[in-house]
Chain A
Amino acid sequence: MPAVTFGWLVSQSRAVLDGDTPTVDIDWVPQIALSISLRLDGFGLLMGLLVSGIGVLVLLYSAAYFGRRDDLGRLAGLLVGFAGAMLGIVWADGLLTLFVFWELTSVTSYLLIGFDDTNPTARAAATRAFLVTGAGGLAMLGGFIILTIVGDATTISELVADPPTGTLTDVALVLVLLGAFTKSAQFPFHFWLPGAMAAATPVSAYLHSATMVKAGLVVVARFAPAFAAHGPWRELVVAAGLTSLMVGGVRAMRQQDAKLALAHGTVSQLGFLMVLLGLGTPAATYAGVAMLLAHALFKASLFLSVGVVDHEAGTRDMRRLRGLLRALPWVAASLIVAAASMAAIPPMFGFVAKEKAIDGLLDTDVGAIGTVALVGIVLGSVLTVAYTIRITVGLLGNDAPGVARLPDTDDPATVAHQAPVDPAAVHRPSFGLLAAPALLALLSLVFGLGAGLVGDWLAEAATSLDPGTASKHLVLWPGINEALVISTGIVAAGVALWWFTRAATRTIDAFGSYATTVYDRIYDGLLEGARRTTVATQSGSLPLYLAIVLMTVAASMFAALLTGAADSISNPRFSNSPVEFVTVVVTGLLAVAVVFARTRFAAAVLLGGSGYALAIVYLIQGGPDLAITQFLVETLTIVVFLLVLARLPAEFSPAPAWAPKLVRIAIATAVGVTVAIFALSASESRTRPSVGEDYVALSEPEAGGRNVVNVILVDFRGFDTLGEITVLAVAGAGVVNLVRAARRQQRRKHIEDGTSAADVPDTDSGRQVGVWR
């Protein structure tokens, strides 16, 4: 599937590069102007190629990585599902469309991080990632809704073409940024990303380095050119981006697990990208797009290489690995190439992109904040160079491992676990494992060498974000200029930083994340709060629930009547026909009789009689469909009622102490009278012509049915029906599962009590029970 997408994108690329923008608009729920609108512009094309291209490689890699596993199909399904959602994000033009796909990536990411569902760490990490990105997504939805109202536009292209201003817009933008920051793991929401490394390597490589974490950047990139100058946008983006850049970089220096180090490095790099794409000037945007491509290539390659190391050597702990340069030459080669791109060493594409970034920032005139961004990025890049060398040397180098400094332990298992890996015992990886990281690393090199050509493509892609980028281009060797001097300085400082810290970082233990602790506190607090609320509100008394529900209904209707509808009741018709009159009276009498019934059985039968009489009223009023349904529902209800009653005492249980007879009568009367008055006034206060006539007129020609009621249900208002039957389905499934859960509990109790197997209900009924299991 991703391969087909990739092919299709390549075929479309010619048209898109010529400035064409294919769009698709599908009305989804036109009533609330909800439609799926997608568009394929230059930037979308670039991101689409990345998502589908890396997707193909990751899927191939996964097949080799996992070998034969029963749940490989589930993994592949989730990955493809994720790829689809991600494509939705990069192509979405409608704000709500974007939001829907955004949440879909959160859901698939949750399932992928927690894929190993027997591992509590993975489950906790999955929940954390989901809650953080989900909360951000909700904030973003709020922002989108405000923007839709303020800007009177439902698509990004309309918004950007005619950006609204004002305080409300600022609030909306902050909300949108919150969403983007959570998704792209920006400080202070960065902590979920290292946790997400609990996922298998192909998943981390795909979701948590190359694609999903780019979703926030995509949104920022699409909004920045129009909104960067507004309100707090630029300040927020630069602050969050630079903080993430530094925090991620420092943390990457402290990790011993190569994958975690890369994850923190990703946080850092995403901060870098956030600054570039968020500044909103043509030069920065162009550099950001180039850097985005470079990052996707080298980071995915690095993750996949670390995955190979993990797969073949059995660990990712850099303290235990050595001699891999010889043992895994191909992995080492692609690792070094990709790392060189990350550290911005010429002639890699990472170098070209970073050169452009520094150049772009020097070129950008946005006042002091531009200078702050530049200084921050230079410092961050020094860290980047340092941790890149550290990871590469840590994985491949031969220097003495830091095992001796590990916490002392007598447990032989732990000691064995911490022993250095013997290079001779390392397996040789298969071609399937090597191909993907090698290809991506190769691209990092080729794109660097062909910088001029790639730069022109990227200019096309960036134009769709900001027309000002059209004249930009990339060069491999710009000659000696300011940017080159700075880059050289960065590399030199980075190497020096690594050299002087290398002994210390060899043995250091990673410290826990403070942000994670804060998150855990909030999470626990929420659960505790929910528990207390439940205890306080859910007394378990059915009469109380019923009273609350009924009184709420009555009160809301009463309020509506007070606000002016009541005076519109004008000489209601008393009765249409004698038959109707008699039936209504019978209905009423039966209902009254229910109250006086002494046994539950009598009450149930009387209630059913009242329901049947009501069905006759419907029939007289000309609603055969309603009558049939009422009749059937009434029948089934009585039967079920009686089946339940058979298991209950015959007499009513005494009324609860809080509701003496008078209170109960008062509640019943209040509800009855309010509903009656409301119904009367509602039928009189029609202000628009009935939609009924339209439906009747359209029924046969449009939907080919002569039964209007049914046509409304299955066609005109089919969406409502679908919602209703979904509720029904959930209820039905709920009933079955409640019964099963109760049963399991019972069985467990039997087992705990040591009751003999014969007493356990379903063992003696044999395989037939299995049908419901």
Chain B
Amino acid sequence: MSGPPPPRRSVVLSETVNGITPVLLLFSIFLTLRGHNAPGGGFAGGLVMGSAVILRYLASGPKGVRSLRIDPIALIGAGLALALTVGLTSLAVDGSFLESAIWKFDVPVVGTLKIVSSSLFDIGVHILVVGVVMSVIVAFAEADDEMGGRR
């Protein structure tokens, strides 16, 4: 961790990252969704997912991030758009910005499923935060390319 991503990658690191990434992704989604009732939330969830991207960058360098084929700006825009849509929809429906709507479903076996519209807002925050973290990583990856085209 002390230097730039070295030209020769550590196999241990990249294998560990491969193993841990799915767990991180799941955990980040879990964090976001549970946020309404327990510690967590879109911001924390987004940061966890963002750290998965960072790990990938550390393990396999700019190539690792680039191969994701995701434009951070698109993520940021999508997240902001989702949050804004939720807000405006509730403005139109309830007459107040971000007034939560609550839907309850009875799902067999699992029990009662409660969906709150503001969870969608949180998901928007989540996506946006991932985008912002990614934009920073992209900055590093681009800088790597400048410095001798390491990949």
The interface of chain A, by Cβ under 8 A from chain B, is 26-30, 601, 624-625, 627-629, 632-633, 635-636, 639-640, 642-643, 646-647, 702-707, 709-711, 713-715, 718-719, 721-722, 725-726, 728-729, 731-733, 735-736, 738-740, 743, 746, 761-762, 764-765, 768-769, 771-772
Contact = CB atoms under 8 A, between A and B. Distances in A.
A624 B44 CA distance: 11
A725 B80 contact: yes
A705 B151 contact: no
B37 A707 contact: yes
19 contacts: A27-B95, A628-B31, A632-B44, A633-B47, A636-B47, A636-B133, A646-B2, A647-B147, A704-B36, A706-B38, A710-B36, A711-B118, A714-B41, A714-B121, A722-B83, A725-B83, A726-B80, A735-B135, A739-B142
Contacts of A707: 35-41
B32 to A, nearest CB: 10
Nearest to B114: A704
B4 to A, nearest CB: 4
Contacts of A643: 4, 140
B132 A646 contact: no
Per DSSP, chain B at the interface is helix
Contacts, number: 188
B41 to A, nearest CB: 5
Contacts of B35: 707, 710
Interface of B: 1-4, 31, 35-44, 47-48, 50-51, 54, 58, 63, 66-67, 69-73, 76-77, 79-80, 83-84, 87, 91, 95-100, 102, 114, 116, 118-119, 121-122, 124-125, 128-129, 131-133, 135-136, 138-140, 142-143, 145-147, 149, 151
B98 A714 contact: yes
A647 B43 contact: no
A725 B79 contact: yes
Closest 10 A/B residue pairs (Cβ):
A718-B98, A732-B132, A624-B39, A705-B36, A632-B47, A714-B118, A704-B102, A706-B37, A646-B4, A732-B135
A379 B143 CA distance: 70
Contacts of B143: 647, 739
B100 A702 contact: yes
Nearest to A628: B44
Nearest to B1: A642
A743 to B, nearest CB: 6
Per DSSP, chain A at the interface is helix
A762 B145 contact: yes
Given A707-B39, A733-B76, A761-B146, A715 B95 contact: no
A761 B133 contact: no
Contacts of A761: 145-146, 149
Given A703-B100, A771-B70, 17 more contacts: A628-B31, A636-B133, A643-B140, A703-B118, A706-B37, A707-B38, A710-B36, A710-B40, A714-B42, A725-B125, A729-B128, A732-B128, A735-B139, A739-B142, A761-B146, A762-B145, A772-B72
A765 B149 contact: yes
Contacts of B73: 732-733, 736
Given A639-B54, A646-B4, A732 B76 contact: yes
B48 to A, nearest CB: 7
Instruction: Among B79, B128, B140, B142, find the residue whose CB has the most chain A CB atoms closer than 10 A.
Output: B142
Nearest to B128: A725
A710 B47 contact: no
Contacts of A636: 47, 50-51, 54, 133
A707 B63 CA distance: 40
A729 B98 contact: no
Contacts of A764: 149
Nearest to A601: B2
A189 B32 CA distance: 53
A465 to B, nearest CB: 29
Nearest to A758: B149
A740 B77 CA distance: 17
